[in-house]
Structure 1
Amino acid sequence: PREGVVATEGGDSTTEDRTAEAREQFTVRIRCVAGKSLAPVASKSCLDLFETNMAEMYQRSSWGLDLRKKADEFRHERARFLLLEKVDAGNMEKSVELMGESSEGKNELLAFGHFRFEPDDDDHPKLEVLYLYELQVSPLYHRRGLGQKLMSIMEDVAKKRGMKKVVLTVFKANVAAMTFYKDGMVYGVDETSPSKFGEDADYEILSKAIDGV
């Protein structure tokens, strides 16, 4: 199985959105970047966020923690990233000017998704799917709908690419993530998950069928 929880070649695809909280309002920018085009500063920000959120859980898992291997995954030729970045509030004109590569690293990374288009199973592939390797949200911005927003975008990408389903791996010990995916995003245990074969693994493979394909 692919390790990870939890897109367009070439240039960045950018959208802007506004998020408001009771005492804070800010602008977020969502960029879609190929892994091989990800600037070093952006790659480091993603790796740092992954380490903050997942280091302890990986260390306790059967996989172990290997940050060098994770960095290599980020640079994989099929890797795609959705980067959700915070832009200074009330500075929309400046944010538009900074949409090019020169803006990388100038804005705070709030969340990111790492995904690829791959066969649904390494040993017995049946169809191509969107496989989610990572979905990480900064602890400072939990419960603001950022993870749900990124998931919705990736599901839309999968639909437009003609994928039959979105697949991801989640640790059983990660109760919050399991609840988010199964209850919040309506994912179920995939037919390729170890539990379907009576195996006692420390993770599940979840998936969701994509309508309209």
Structure 2
Amino acid sequence: MVLPAALPSSVAPPSLQELAERIRPVVLARQAMVPVVEPLKRLVPDGGLIRGSTITIGGVGATSLALQLSTAASQSGSWVAVVGLNDLAPAAVLEANLEAERVAFIDPGNSGRHVDVLAALIGAVDVIVLDARLSLRPSDGRRLASRLRERGSILIVVFPGGAVNSSLSADLSLTVGDAQWEGLGCGHGHLRSRRVRVGIDGRGRASRTARCELLLPAINAQVATAESECEDGTVVAFSR
């Protein structure tokens, strides 16, 4: 019988510090931010989407804002999965300037399997845009939130045209309202842009309450910062 050669006495097992150094890149990768386009940086903590977080968006223009929040992620090579939102036209994705080859549309149908679909996507794609009309039980919400934190994906829950009402505990909640279209003259002309006010409410690392004005869309069909600044009032700045 041939026995394996013994390790040289000079080879010592790695220390805890050495092991920590070896896994540090993985830890940092899990804590990394997913980028957003410049006009939306003031809506999110540290100017990016926190991995493992849940964001809810409601109100007029909620779907448009969700797409714009995903634009920079797709442009940087991340995959974006849109679950539900079957009334969303592919042209809207192109107008939001997402990389079309990095966007997957998934229709879970009426089988009630959308929870399993979400669980499979978490960790496989960086950003998941979910139609809030696909209801989740509180127990499912807790399980998915735990999986998000573990795998580092970002979930954006969209309430098209309605108020936010979710079983998911959101780290950041955005509400789009006070929409005013601009561009029409005295009874003629073309709609050029839509000015909206976005309410911001966060917890934990994203702890903040504020309102900002955006052009969604702007003249170029993208998103832009309106002339007015954020109204912070009784704001607690993003904690670090």
- Flag whether TM exceeds 0.5 (same fold): no
TM-score scaled by structure 1? 0.29
TM-score scaled by structure 2? 0.26
